[in-house]
Structure 1
Amino acid sequence: MNEGAPVWITRAQPGAEATAAKVATLGFAPIVDPLLEVAPIAASIDLADAAALAFTSANGVQAFSRLCDSRALPVFTVGRATAVAAREAGFTQVSSADGDVEDLARLILTARPDSILWAGAREPAGDLVAALNDAGVAARGVAVYETVDRAPSEATLALLGRPLSVLLHSPRAARGLAGILRCRPAQALRALCLSEAVAAPLDGLVESGSVARAPRPDETALLALLSA
Structure 2
Amino acid sequence: MTRVLITRPQPGAAETADRLRALGHEPVVAPLFEVKAKEWSPPAAMPEAVMLTSAAAAREGGPAMATYLGLPCFCVGARTAAAAQGAGFTDIRTPEVHDGGELLAAIAAAGIGDILHLSGIEIATYAPPAGLKVERRVVYGAHFHSWSEAERTAAQAADVALIYSPRGGEALAAAFGPHRKGVRLSAISRNAATAAGDGWAARAVAASPDEDALFAAAGLLCEKQADKAPLTRTG
In structure 1, the partner of 2:81 is: 83
Alignment partner, residue 191 of structure 1: 185
Structure 1 pair 162/83, CA: closer, same or farther in 2 (3 Å)?
A: closer
Normalization by structure 1: what TM-score? 0.88
Work out whether 1:142 is the aligned partner of 2:137. yes
In the TM superposition, 1:64-213 aligns within 5 A as 64-70=61-67, 71-98=69-96, 99-124=98-123, 126-128=124-126, 131-132=127-128, 134-159=129-154, 162-182=157-177, 184-207=178-201, 210-213=202-205
Residue aligned with 1:46, SS: coil
Measured after TM superposition, the shift of residue 160 of structure 1 is 5.3
State which drifts further: 67-76 or 82-91.
Answer: 67-76
Residues paired across the two proteins, number = 218
Alpha-carbon distance between aligned partners in 2 of 1:83 and 1:47, rounded to the nearest angstrom: 26
Q: Rate the CA distance shift 1:161–1:68 in 2: closer, same or farther, 3 A.
A: closer
| Unmatched tracts of structure 1, length 5 or more | none
User: Which residue does the alignment assign to 1:36?
Assistant: 33
For the 8 Å contact 1:78–1:96, the answer to whether it is kept is yes
Q: Which runs of 5+ in 2 are unaligned?
A: 221-225, 231-235
Q: Give the Å deviation of 1:116.
A: 0.5
**Runs of 4+ in structure 1 over 6 Å off:** none
Deviations 1:59-103 (Å, cap 9, x if unpaired)?
Answer: 111222443322221111111111111112111111012432122
CA contact (8 A) 2:6 2:30 kept: yes
**What TM-score results when the alignment is normalised by the length of structure 2?**
0.85
Q: What secondary structure sits across from 2:180 in the alignment?
A: coil
| Equivalent-residue separation in structure 2 for 1:178 and 1:15 (angstroms) | 21
Give the percent of matched residue pairs that are identical in Structure 1 and Structure 2: 32
Of 52, 77, 80, which residue of structure 2 is paired with 1:55?
Answer: 52
Name the structure 2 match of 1:221. 213
* Structure 1: distance between partners of 2:135 and 2:66: 19
